[in-house]
Structure 1
Amino acid sequence: MHTFLLILQVIISILLIAIVLVQPGKTNGLSGFISGGSAESFYSRNKSRTSEAMLSKLTIIFAIIFALLCIAQNLIK
């Protein structure tokens, strides 16, 4: 059982790293600093339906699974 949890944790950790690396940056850079960066657009109003929102939710889900696997492995030892 311990080996199965260890393999599952390695797979989840690799997926978590990949999902975090695929996400775009949250900063606007210098252009956001100069223009204010808080312009309302169609994209910013519908952000919950984008792939960026899906990646954010997947990151949270995989992080919770990773934490639960860590706890389960410590309890089994």
Structure 2
Amino acid sequence: MAVLKIILTVVFIIISIALTVIILMQEGKSAGLGAIAGAADTYWGKNKGRSMEGRLVTGTKILVVLFVVIAAVLNLGIF
């Protein structure tokens, strides 16, 4: 059981570091002056999910879920 706790702790630390890096790589949510003026969506705006930014957002969501699950498992006290 102690080995499993050590492995989960190491994975938890790696996920924490990866989550920090991915969050810092993301752009801000401000859309610029075009959003204030009511400009139409651009091709890039419509296909943002397929871009690098979209992948970062998806990766962030997956890592957050893993982070919360592993944190809960480590704090249950079953190890």
Instruction: Give the TM-score band, short-chain normalised.
Output: 0.7 to 0.9
Measure how far apart 1:57 and its partner are.
Answer: 0.4
Partner in structure 1 of residue 74 of structure 2: 73
Partner in structure 2 of residue 9 of structure 1: 12
What pairs with 1:1-77 in structure 2 (closer than 5 Å)?
1-29=4-32, 31-32=33-34, 34-36=36-38, 38-75=39-76, 76-77=78-79
Measure how far apart 1:34 and its partner are.
Answer: 4.7
Measure how far apart 1:58 and its partner are.
Answer: 0.2
Ranges in structure 1 where 5+ consecutive residues have no aligned partner? none
Per-residue CA deviations over 1:29-58 (Å, capped at 9, x if unaligned) read: 4x246523x421111111121111110000
Distance 1:22 1:73 in 2: 28
TM-score using structure 1 length: 0.84
Distance 1:45 1:59, change over 3 A: same
- Taking every aligned residue pair, what percent have the same amino acid on both sides? 36
TM-score using structure 2 length: 0.82
Distance 1:71 1:19 in 2: 22
How many pairs does the alignment contain? 75
Distance 1:70 1:24, change over 3 A: same
